[in-house]
């Protein structure tokens, strides 16, 4: 079967999926596609996602960022806030996590009004996970076992959109490190284990500040 072009939109991929399956689309595809659709609108949806909140400059610590005030009275940072990113996987989902860099180290704990943190307030509980793609890991396993070209195109699309969101972060933040498998690398590691692949060794444990 002919693969969809990498430039295909989510709508085009789903339309192709319906065509391949005579309109009968599996629930696991719906779950993954719906979550990817939510990620697509992460900056335009009305609700405040952690990804959207991190761009809120009223929570930036301008004392750390060496701010200047221009002629119009606007405050501008001469340095970008430093953060690290981590690709995280469990048995079902993919998440992108963010950690402020404080004294050269990733911050795992809450911090308020610190003279060294690039954010005035940092709460890992509500701010660390920038976004989640629910059911993506389950969908990847499904695709490897019995997927079609539309399923593969959806995985490629999810990887492309995550990388674009990371690139967008890099415009406002200094990303000092990105750890963990990208979605594409995660798939490559699974592929190396065919036909008896296991995802256990690729999954993440809970973050530890001793990493």
Domain ranges (residues) in the chain? 20-202
Looking at the chain, the whole-number percentage of residues with pLDDT higher than 90 is 69
DSSP 21-77: TTT---HHHHHHHHHHHHHHTTTTSSS--HHHHTT-GGGB-TTTTTEEE-TTS-EEE
Quote the pLDDT of residue 19: 92
pTM recorded for the entire structure: 0.88
DSSP state of 148: -
Separation of first and last alpha carbons in the chain: 44
Could you write out the three-class secondary structure of 88-141?
EECCCCEEEEEEEEECCEECCCCEECCCCCCECEECHHHHCEEEEECCHHHHHH
Confidence grade of residue 157 (pLDDT, cut at 50, 70, 90) = very high
Pick the residue with more confidence: 5 or 19? 19
Contacts of 69 (CB under 8 A, 6+ apart): 75, 76
């Amino acid at each position: 079967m002919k693969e969809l072009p990498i430039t295909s939109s989510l709508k085009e991929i789903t339309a192709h999926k319906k065509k391949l399956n005579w309109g009968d689309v599996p629930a696991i595809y719906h779950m993954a596609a719906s979550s990817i659709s939510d990620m697509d609108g992460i900056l335009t949806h009305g609700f405040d996602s952690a990804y959207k909140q991190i761009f809120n400059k009223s929570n930036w610590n301008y004392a750390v960022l060496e701010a200047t005030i221009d002629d119009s009275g606007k405050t501008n940072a001469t340095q970008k806030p430093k953060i690290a990113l981590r690709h995280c996987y469990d048995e079902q989902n993919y998440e992108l996590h963010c950690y402020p860099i404080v004294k050269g180290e990733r911050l795992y704990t809450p911090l308020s009004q610190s003279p060294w943190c690039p954010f005035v307030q940092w709460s890992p509980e509500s701010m660390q996970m920038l976004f989640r793609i629910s059911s993506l890991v389950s969908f990847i396993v499904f695709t490897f076992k019995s997927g079609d070209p539309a399923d593969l195109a959806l995985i490629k699309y999810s990887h492309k959109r995550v990388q674009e969101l990371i690139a967008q972060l890099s415009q406002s933040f200094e990303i000092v490190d990105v750890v963990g498998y990208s979605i594409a690398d995660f798939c490559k590691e699974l592929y190396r284990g065919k036909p008896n692949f296991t995802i256990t060794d690729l999954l993440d444990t809970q973050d530890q500040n001793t990493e």
